[in-house]
Amino acid sequence: MTATQEPEHVKQKKYGAHDIPSYLDPNHIGPYEIYLEQVERVTPYLGKLAYWIETLKRPKRILVVDVPIHLDDGTVAHFEGYRVQHNTSRGPAKGGIRYHQDVTLSEVMALSAWMTIKNAAVNLPYGGGKGGVRIDPRKYSTGEIERVTRRYATEIGLIIGPEKDIPAPDVNTNPQTMAWIMDTYSMNVGRTSTGVVTGKPVALGGSLGRADATGRGVFVTGAEAMKKLNLPMEGARIAIQGFGNVGEAAARIFHQHGAKIVAIQDVTGTIHSDAGIDPGAALEHLRRTGKITEFPGSEEIQKAEFWSVDCDVLIPAALENQITLANADQIKARLIVEGANGPTNPAADDLLTGKGVVIVPDVLANAGGVTVSYFEWVQDFSSFFWTEEEINKRLDRIMSEAFLSLWDVKEQHGVTLRTAVYIVSCTRVLEARALRGLYP
């Protein structure tokens, strides 16, 4: 019997004193159910704060909007839009806006809740939010997408703002989308408001350091974990899957600090070198030839062999669900730093944890992106912008402090870092809730 087939009374017991909200189908709760289970699991660690636990299970506010636009052919089309503010106890809601034909309310609810967890894990003064429009952007012209964006921004304009809820790019949205939202919102409120969204182009109040932010966060948390494991950085052997925005930056920064990149895998192939690969030269080679393979001084290996490469640190920075039972037992690394979202499936996670491998979970390892989003918002308040060095210095501080407080909780409770994230985040959110109380 799966969870979704359980009788109603079982479900009520499982999710606390209250029913599943009426706006979710109890038989098909969807992604929000995964989140509810995660909260259930850490409730015993929350002590007296568990009194407030229901607060985490219910989003503060859900707005469903109709988004009508004129299509290029002269007809009118309607799209469903959502904005969910899961929690604002620690600060304004914050989270991306995605455009996808399969977006559902349950998905947006779950994503907004995960933003609450992520923001609290890094100790940013934010709650969590997420938005989405049910549209397949590939089927529409740029003009149509702009009209959808502006109408959607106007509809949710009632509840967003620099001191209320700050959207950011997500699946199928980008700095241009954010520029349209910023412009629409600014026109509607009658003043320039750059801080209403982050992920803007640098010319419109965006922040420097954004391109490298996630990869840099992977490096900072990875380096802190290596200290805990007594793994010296000098000469440490690193294998990286993915050589895009995140993987390339992480490889470059690890290399700069004396580590040795022994393997890189991307869509074009897998290369290996015991002597170490210079990521700068590899990027140059990739740009010139269109592939990572045949890089001088490296040997090409089979795709599956990547997992058994002799290394100290493994960084999956490509896609989700890469480390599975099919390859987990071949992994030689003592440390895995999840640059990508969800690269390790739960069964593989259990197996690796059982072997004593430490996994720095995605919510922490790739939080460099949202941290620089936070810096962008901070800079927008004063319209005074920081240098890239200042941003990197502050990013390093926030990421390493976040890692260290999670590590303490991991040690204290004898749990994985992934569980520690939930314990720390739920504690921080409910601590704020308890201090604020209920009003009126």
By CB under 8 A, tell whether 440 contacts another protein. Answer: yes
Window contacting another protein (CB under 8 A); options: 16-24, 235-243, 349-357, 430-438: 430-438
Q: How far is the CB of 86 from another protein (least distance, A)?
A: 13
Q: How far is the CB of 433 from another protein (least distance, A)?
A: 10
By CB under 8 A, tell whether 382 contacts another protein. Answer: yes
CA angle 142, 145, 147 (to 5 degrees): 110
Catalytic choice (60, 94, 118, 130): 130
Q: How far is the CB of 89 from another protein (least distance, A)?
A: 9
Whether 130 is catalytic is yes
Q: How far is the CB of 39 from another protein (least distance, A)?
A: 19
Strands (E), 135-281: 165-169, 237-241, 260-266, 269-277
By CB under 8 A, tell whether 62 contacts another protein. Answer: no
The token pair at 411 is 């040690």
Window contacting another protein (CB under 8 A); options: 111-119, 199-207, 292-300, 427-435: 427-435
Starting at the edge strand that comes first in sequence, how are the strands of the sheet with 313-316 ordered? 299-301, 269-277, 260-266, 237-241, 313-316, 335-337, 358-360
The token pair at 132 is 């989405």
Exactly one of 11, 100, 164, 227 binds another protein (CB under 8 A); which one? 164
The answer to whether 29 touches 106, Cβ cutoff 8 Å, is yes
The smaller minimum CB distance to another protein, of residues 195 and 242, is found at 195
Q: How far is the CB of 126 from another protein (least distance, A)?
A: 9
By CB under 8 A, tell whether 227 contacts another protein. Answer: no
Exactly one of 21, 26, 31, 125 binds another protein (CB under 8 A); which one? 125
By CB under 8 A, tell whether 63 contacts another protein. Answer: no
The smaller minimum CB distance to another protein, of residues 72 and 163, is found at 163
Exactly one of 16, 26, 161, 244 binds another protein (CB under 8 A); which one? 161
By CB under 8 A, tell whether 127 contacts another protein. Answer: yes
By CB under 8 A, tell whether 377 contacts another protein. Answer: yes
Taking residue 427's Cβ as centre, other Cβ atoms within 10 Å add up to 17
Exactly one of 59, 81, 91, 167 binds another protein (CB under 8 A); which one? 91
By CB under 8 A, tell whether 92 contacts another protein. Answer: yes
Residues binding another protein: number (CB under 8 A): 21
Window contacting another protein (CB under 8 A); options: 87-95, 147-155, 176-184, 317-325: 87-95
By CB under 8 A, tell whether 381 contacts another protein. Answer: yes
By CB under 8 A, tell whether 396 contacts another protein. Answer: no
Exactly one of 83, 86, 90, 252 binds another protein (CB under 8 A); which one? 90
By CB under 8 A, tell whether 428 contacts another protein. Answer: yes
By CB under 8 A, tell whether 52 contacts another protein. Answer: no
Interacting residues with another protein (CB under 8 A): 88, 90-92, 125, 127, 161, 163-164, 377-378, 381-382, 428, 431-432, 435-437, 439-440
* Enzyme catalytic residues: 130
